[in-house]
Amino acid sequence: MVPASTSREPTNLSSRPPVQLSTGVTSFSSSDPGSWEPLFEQARTFDRAGVDRLVLSDHVVFGEHLEEYGRPEIGGQAGGKQPTGSDGHWLEPLTTLSVLAGMTSRIRLGTNIIVAALRRPAVLAKSTATLDVLSGGRLDLGVGVGWQREEYEAAGLDFENRGRLLDHSLEVCQTLWRDPRAQYHSPELHFEAIHMMPKPLQPGGIPIWISGTVNARVVRRVARFGSGWVPWGPAAADPRVGIAQMKDALADAGHEVSDLQVVGTLPFVKRDDGTLDVERTMDVVPHLADAGLTDLRARFTLPGDASAALDELRAIVHAFRVAAGRSDPV
């Protein structure tokens, strides 16, 4: 972990891209919640308060071997545990983000992560381009290979080939997002003279954030497709070391590293009574930025009253922007 400090003076953030504050909303439940209105209210509050980005996770189906999530060698996380059982209710993220796009006006909307290869690539390209256009260019696509064999089997796909399936999906998406008259040739797919409109609103297509550990396959994926990186495993546990390793590997591959966006966690410091100590929490922000993190994600526990929740969150966002050296108003 990057150590906290009570002083912000040694850090100069003026020459770096602005560090952003993101959060996730819980789009799953261990049983039928009866209503998803709390998710909608959270999204509206985050948008009004000035949080930079909202992200959702992904599962299409579940098998009955959820303990596999604890296996890093297949893409899981050591010691990790799924938050629901096999019959947990999980909302599909792109569908859910489409609903949230109509309820919000400025917050960026993202996946963290979507198992992209489970969707047919041309359909994924179309649905994400549509969402980007309808949201006013606010979509980020965080992608990964996932860890669950049963999801690939239910989609008729080879789990052992999931890395190549992800690369294939991203190749097709970027081709269709970019080219007015598209063609594509690979062992998996061949097409010529294909037109797909509308294109994403964002120049260059939808930003792709690649999830993974520091290994040769992930480095190549980030270099080819990535606007950002979502560290996993040891790289997430020790971001300063992980980011240095990733940037060294990218530089060795001839890839520009100065504009690499990297996700990390903003740890909350609590007082003895369990309330958030905003000042001490924000003391660590410059040090996380020094480590190379550009997108700090936090999980908020807010008051049940909507007005009180908005006031509290606005104060947190303001303190974050000050700590990050940002001058944009909340």
Q: What are the residue ranges spanned by the domains of the chain?
A: 20-240
- Is 145 within 8 Å of 163 (Cβ atoms)? yes
E strand segments, the chain: 20-24, 28-29, 53-56, 89-90, 108-114, 139-143, 182-185, 190-194, 208-212, 228-231, 261-265, 295-298
The residue to which tokens 């952003």 are assigned: 20
State pLDDT tens for residues 175-184: 999 999 999 9
Mean pLDDT, residues 22-47: 96
Q: Which amino acid is at 277?
A: D
* Preceding peptide of 243 cis, ω within 30°: no
For residue 287, how many C-alpha atoms fall within 13 Å in the half-sphere facing its CB? 17
State pLDDT tens for residues 143-158: 999 999 999 999 999 9
State pLDDT tens for residues 231-260: 999 999 999 999 999 999 999 999 989 889
Cα dist. 300→74, 75, 116, 275, 309 in Å?
30, 27, 27, 11, 10
Model confidence band, residue 12 (pLDDT cutoffs 50, 70, 90): low
- Is 268 within 8 Å of 300 (Cβ atoms)? no
State pLDDT tens for residues 286-296: 999 999 999 99
**Judging by beta carbons within 10 Å of its beta carbon (0-12, 13-18, 19+), is residue 283 exposed, middle or buried?**
middle
- pTM for this predicted structure: 0.92
- Is 126 within 8 Å of 196 (Cβ atoms)? yes
- Give phi and psi for 189, each to the nearest 5: -160, 145
E strand segments, 34-119: 53-56, 89-90, 108-114
pLDDT reported for residue 330: 83
- Is 222 within 8 Å of 229 (Cβ atoms)? yes
Residue 315, pLDDT above cutoff 70: yes
Q: Which two tokens stand for residue 56?
A: 């959702």
Tell me, what DSSP letter sits at residue 5? Answer: -
pLDDT reported for residue 1: 46
**Average pLDDT score, the chain:** 93
20-240 to CATH, choices 3.40.50.920, 3.30.70.260, 3.20.20.30, 3.90.226.30: 3.20.20.30
